[in-house]
A = this chain, B = another copy of it.
Amino acid sequence: MREEREIFGKYLSRHNLRDTPQRELILDTFLKREEHVSAEELYDIVKKRDPSIGQATVYRNLKLFSEAGLAREVDLGDGVARYEHSYKHPHHDHLICRGCGKTVEVVDAVIEELQKRVAEKYGFKLTDHALYLYGNCEECRKKE
């Protein structure tokens, strides 16, 4: 977390942006959360520490964290943007339970490689991808 703050500080000064208490608070709160958070969720948490904070500020800063390489936007397809840690948290795909919504991060080197090849077959140079695997987790299946 110290490292992230340092990176962020450098990003701010390099881009002539300012260090504000709101920014610190939002970043802090974001870094402490290990799970994906939506702007709304983060706003609710942050509000407890500083009720005067505006939700536009949370939206604005989450976007900023992404630009600074500290956060990554995740689209689980429900119309709500979520953010996950990006620093020292490399690319991965998501396995999502249709029952309880639980998400698991997964990577498969072979799938990644095959994707690149499929793209090449069609003359595309792959830059990135989004893979969401939907299913039912063990617990949810037991309940049925």
Contacts and interface: CB of A to CB of B under 8 A. Distances in A.
A118 B133 contact: yes
Contact of A129 (B115, B126, B134): B134
Interface centre among A119, A132, A135, by most B CB within 10 Å?
A: A135
Interface in A80-123: 95, 97-98, 104, 106, 108, 110-111, 114-115, 118-119, 121-123
Interface stretch (A16-24, A47-55, A136-144): A136-144
Contacts of A127: 98, 134-136
A62 B114 CA distance: 34
Nearest to A133: B129
A115 B125 contact: no
A53 to B, nearest CB: 26
Nearest to A124: B135
A118 B126 contact: no
A39 to B, nearest CB: 15
A1 interface: no
Contacts of A131: 115, 129-132
16 contacts: A77-B130, A97-B124, A104-B122, A106-B118, A106-B121, A108-B118, A114-B114, A119-B135, A122-B137, A123-B137, A124-B135, A125-B135, A126-B135, A129-B132, A129-B133, A130-B134
